[in-house]
Amino acid sequence: MLRKKPSVSVVIRTRNMESRLSELLLGLSRQTLRPSEVVVVDNFSGEGTLQKMTGFLSSAKTRFFKDQTAVKLVPVPDSEFSHAYSTNAGILFSEGELVCITNGHSLPFSKTWLESGVAHFRDPEVAGVGGYSTPHTDGTVWEKLAYRWSWKEFNEISRMYAKDSYFSTMNCVLRRALWEEYPFDEKLPDEIPLSSRFGGEDYDWATEMLARRHKIVVEPMFCVYHSHGDGLSVLASKYIVWRRIRKRIATLSRPRESFTKIRFSKPRYFDL
């Protein structure tokens, strides 16, 4: 049974000091529901960049959270990186009953962002809450058009979000106890094209939770700004690959077991 005021960890996946990371940490410090801890998973390219991240987070802990929120750093070198592994590594060292997962270049829509996502866990059947994204103000025109077509127009006007199972580690909250039962799969079947590069482990996790008779909720107020500056050709390629990955994952037998190497070899981490 979830406590009336559950502890919430925020896991941030970042890469060599994302340009928006400082703004994200500031936004977390101003949330109406303050996280009990922040776990930063840094995909770093060298020891020099890792040292810069360590110094930055130590300063940010005092500057933004005034040492009232725990901050941890989990380094993941390029040679070990995958979307699933970096997420699992961050959750492994989190302690909250609920874990919010986002990226270092994603920014909360509002001060009630985290509270809006967590509120659904009063229902014990809810395994995870997903939220959509909209491009940053400096996003490309193609990203903004894609957003209007795929999320805003379709989901808000048709009200389809109430039946959707959209769930992405770009912006989600999950119940940690269920992640312990089924971590993100770092070894999706080899025939799933490009899954190690493009992900799909978050969709797999949500599909598995639904197969186990849990609920996945999409909350319109739990939304972030997120974009990469992609042009039309890149967006089209990503869409085609994602459709192939999603279609293949949907054919997997359920329930199933997932694989994570943290069961055999734990990564290192630092308390800051």
Mapping DSSP onto H, E and C, the string for 80-128 reads: HCCHHHHHHHHHHCCCCCEEEEEECCCEECCCCHHHHHHHHHHCCCEEE
Q: Give the mean pLDDT per block of 10 residues along the chain (272 residues).
A: 76 88 95 95 84 91 89 92 93 97 94 96 95 82 68 44 70 97 87 60 94 94 84 78 82 94 91 90
In whole angstroms, what is the distance from residue 114 CA to residue 269 CA?
25
CA gap 207, 50 in Å, rounded: 35
Least Cα distance to 113 among 220, 12, 23, 228 occurs for 220
Q: How far apart are CA 234 and CA 58, in angstroms?
A: 36
Q: CA distances (Å), 82 to each of 111, 120, 205, in order?
A: 30, 29, 15
pLDDT of residue 16: 78
Boundaries of every domain in the chain? 8-271
- Kindly state the tokens that stand for 75: 């380094």
**β partners of residue 44:** 77
pTM for the model: 0.90
Contacts of 11 (CB under 8 A, 6+ apart): 39, 41, 87, 90, 91, 94, 99, 100, 101, 102
User: Which is the CATH superfamily of the domain at 8-271?
Assistant: Spore Coat Polysaccharide Biosynthesis Protein SpsA; Chain A (3.90.550.10)
- The candidate with the shortest Cα–Cα distance to 53, out of 18, 82, 10, is 18
β-partners of residue 100 are: 10, 173
Question: Distance between CA 194 and CA 52 in Å, rounded?
Answer: 31
